[in-house]
Structure 1
Amino acid sequence: MTTVGLLRPEGHPEDDYRRIETLLGGDIRVDPVVYDGPGTDPERLAAGAERLRLAGTDAVVWATAGASFAQGWDAARAHARALALTAGLPASSTAIGFAHATRAVGATRVAVAGGYPDDVAGAVVRFLEAAGIQVVGEARAHGGLPLPDLVRAADDPSAEAVLVPDTSVPTVAEVPEAEAAAGKPVLTGTLVTVWEGLRLAERHGVWGEELGALFVRRGPRDVWEPRA
């Protein structure tokens, strides 16, 4: 059993993480520690990481997209290193996970979809570009669009994947339909967060047919291709 420990704010979709556990076949556990204070409070994050260490988790991910993107690429990596030292475990964040996951599906040009205000949306673009990923399309959610519609609105013909970073909305159930609509990988906040934890725990072979491109069974050199 591999356990991914999450440090996540209140109100994030617990059901998404339980669905991921189920669709990965029962050999993966997602253990969230929920905090109700400021998302960047180092003392709260350190205390949460210690709880996860004592619970026997294999890796820790700071499971918040907006705040982790807002740090910027260099600061996010420094924050992950500090969290790893505190926890005594491999550690990362949702934002760093998006950089790794985008490369894992063979993409260097992406579209970004979400409901963030201008300052956070700008931070997402700057973070990705600092990580060597070009943003070629964007769309903002208005009125809670279904995931396939949001992905279509953001997509660009030159994009090789569509990223939906927000970890505060449930997306997992709609990912297969969204990928079918776009014909390319769709990476969402909750999926990427768990995948990043599994990557840190060196569980690279974990796959689930209903979880989209990121969890497709592949060889070490394969990248995802849309179904015919």
Structure 2
Amino acid sequence: MTRVGFLYPGFSAEDDYKAFEELLGGDVELPLVHTLMREDAHRVDALLDVGGEDVLAEGARELAAMEVDSAVWACTSGSFVFGWEGAGKQVEGVRRAAGVPSSSTSFAFVHALSQLRISRVAIAATYPDDVAQRFVEFLTEAGVTVLSLASHGIATAAEVGRLGPDDAVDFVISNDHTRADAVLVPDTALHSAHLIEPMEALLGKTVLTANQVSVWEGLRLAGADTVRPSGPGTLFRVGAGAVRSALPAR
């Protein structure tokens, strides 16, 4: 049994991880620790607090007690707002506290794109534009070309968690770019486990969602076989291979 632990801020789409667990089969457990969210706001200052060192260290110690095989800070905006270097230090703090290989959703997107050999993307972000622009900057640092960015402008994670599946699918497929090889959907507050396959079918290209890449990254770090035909989306059918880590060397 492979156990991948997730640090998940507050409450919005945490049940998505149970859905991924069921889709991936009976040999994977995806336990969550809900980390402190003093204010639910897609605003830079609030996100810097959500991803603070003290908050994540406390949660990571709880994951250590669960004897997980790897740990992922499952919050895209709460990692990329720190910038490339800051997000790397954030992951290192989680690794030290959890005592297992660790990453974050932001780096999971980078590693998934590397595995798929995709460098041109469109982004359909639920965040306000100023926050979404920071994700563009993060990806650019990794050598990814962002061809288009759509911002839904939703102010809180709770509101994103209540977004209906039809609305979510419509938003994503309406914000593709003809020259993009994938559409990225960077918010772990969005339910996506059962939407990836329909979106890929409608678009005819890869769709990467925040919870999807977080689960894939955790399995990769745990050394588990990530080639899973039952897993949602192209990413799980391709597996992990020999991904070159974008994280700073320890």
- The TM-score normalised by the length of structure 1 is 0.90
Q: Say which is worse superposed, 102-111 or 78-87, in terms of deviation.
A: 78-87
Residue pair 2:17, 2:211 contacting (<8 A) in 1 also: yes
Task: Specify the SS of the correspondent of 1:192.
Answer: helix
Name structure 2 gaps, 5 residues minimum: 38-48, 155-162, 243-250
Q: CA deviation at 1:119?
A: 1.7
**Candidates 60, 67, 71, aligned match of 2:71:** 60
The question of whether the paired residues in 2 share the 8 Å contact of 1:62 and 1:92 is answered with yes
- Amino acid paired to 1:161: A
In structure 2, distance between residues paired with 1:55 and 1:180 = 37
Q: Tell me, in whole angstroms, the C-alpha distance in 2 between the residues paired with 1:203 and 1:49.
A: 21
Over 3 Å counting, the alpha-carbon distance change for 1:142 and 1:122 in structure 2 is closer
> Normalising to structure 2: TM-score of the pair?
0.82
How far apart are 1:153 and its partner, in Å? 1.9
CA distance in 1, matches of 2:9, 2:195: 23
Q: Is the 8 A contact 1:151 1:182 kept in 2?
A: no
| Partner of residue 34, structure 2 | 34
In the superposition, relative to structure 1, how do residues 219 and 62 fare at CA in structure 2: closer, same or farther (>3 Å)? closer
Amino acid aligned to 2:90: H
> Is residue 2:233 matched to residue 1:179?
no
Partners of 1:61 and 1:215 in 2: CA distance: 17
Tell me, in whole angstroms, the C-alpha distance in 1 between the residues paired with 2:240 and 2:64. 31
Shift of the 130–219 alpha-carbon distance from structure 1 to 2, 3 Å rule, reads closer
Count of residue pairs brought into register by the alignment: 221
Q: Which amino acid aligns with 1:182?
A: L
Give the counterpart of 1:113 among 113, 124, 130.
124
Structure 1 residues not aligned, in runs of 5+: 222-228
Partner secondary structure for residue 216 of structure 1 = helix
RMSD: 1.9
Stretch of structure 1 that moved more, 84-93 or 56-65: 84-93
Distance of aligned partners of 1:123 and 1:51 in 2 relative to their CA distance in 1, 3 Å threshold:
same
Residue 108 of structure 2 aligns to a residue whose secondary structure is: helix
Where do residues 1-228 of structure 1 align in structure 2 (5 Å cutoff)? 1-37=1-37, 38-141=49-152, 144=163, 146-217=167-238, 220=241
Query: Does the Cα contact within 8 Å between 2:79 and 2:90 map onto a contact in 1?
Result: no
Question: What CA distance in whole angstroms lies between the structure 2 residues aligned with 1:100 and 1:5?
Answer: 18
Q: Which runs of 4+ in 1 moved over 3 A?
A: 142-145, 217-221
